[in-house]
Amino acid sequence: MLLPFTLAAVSFLTAAAPAFSTSTQELFAKYGQPKELPPFAIIKEFDTPVAIKEVEKPKRLICRGCNDNENRTLAFLQDKGITDKNALAAIMGNIRQESTFVPNICEGGARTSYGGCGGGYGLIQWTSSNRYYGLGDHARRLGSSPSTLETQLSYMLTEPQWKNIESRMKATGKSIDRYMDYSYSWIGWGHHGARTSYAYDYAKRFTFGS
């Protein structure tokens, strides 16, 4: 029968259990009151600092010995997703040939306002009427002057002529000569001049900034 065994086991456990005669008040007096935790408190088992790796910013090219307009143009082009050194050099070489990076230059070299030129104006010498007046319309939409570097750079990348080659100029790994081939339909130069030599010179002067 199981009943006598069960009663015996209970008797054994009762006899083996230690007697606790110390009152709660005595324990508090000896060890102090337990600290109260605020509602929903989170107890941390570990307080080990976690190292957070800082995201490294991509390095940017700057141009050694270039003037402010040249370096601002280089930074603008990189912001727009053109990162290949040779592509950047080709664009810069074309702009240097056209205007030496002077935004208020008129064909022939005169420095004048946009309204005082009438064609062959600005960074890439916008000559045809639709491209020249397109610059003025773009400036009015922006509420800015058509004679500033920033306005002309932003207009330059909105033109259909640029859009036709944009993906090629954003591609990487081509030679300067190849990027210059792409540039012809954008600029449409009648006289090649020294633009390719300028491009090679820029490529030598480009270096990664800090």
Least confident of 31-35, 70-74, 75-79, 124-128: 31-35
Total-model pTM = 0.73
The Cα–Cα gap between 106 and 125 comes to 7
| pLDDT in the model for residue 172 | 97
42-66 mean pLDDT: 71
The Cα–Cα gap between 187 and 184 comes to 5
pLDDT of 124-170, one tens digit each? 999 999 999 999 999 999 999 999 999 999 999 999 999 999 999 99
C-beta separation of 73 from 156 below 8 A:
no
The Cα–Cα gap between 176 and 171 comes to 12
In the chain, where the domains are located: 62-207
Please report which confidence band the pLDDT of residue 107 belongs to, taking 50, 70 and 90 as the band edges.
very high
| pLDDT in the model for residue 194 | 97
Top CATH class of 62-207 equals mainly alpha
Find tokens 């004679």 and name the residue: 147
Nearest to 172 by CA among 78, 39, 101: 78
**Does pLDDT of 101 surpass 70?**
yes
Q: What are the backbone dihedrals phi and psi of residue 208, each rounded to the nearest 5 degrees, phi first?
A: -75, 130
Nearest to 186 by CA among 105, 48, 77, 104: 77
What residues contact residue 146 under an 8 Å CB cut-off, 6+ apart?
A: 114, 122, 135, 136, 138, 139, 152, 155
pLDDT of 108-129, one tens digit each? 999 999 999 988 999 999 999 9
C-beta separation of 60 from 75 below 8 A:
yes
Radius of gyration of the chain (CA): 38
pLDDT of 24-52, one tens digit each? 667 556 666 655 555 554 545 555 565 65
Q: What is the average pLDDT value for the chain, to the nearest integer?
A: 85
| pLDDT in the model for residue 2 | 47
The Cα–Cα gap between 89 and 81 comes to 14
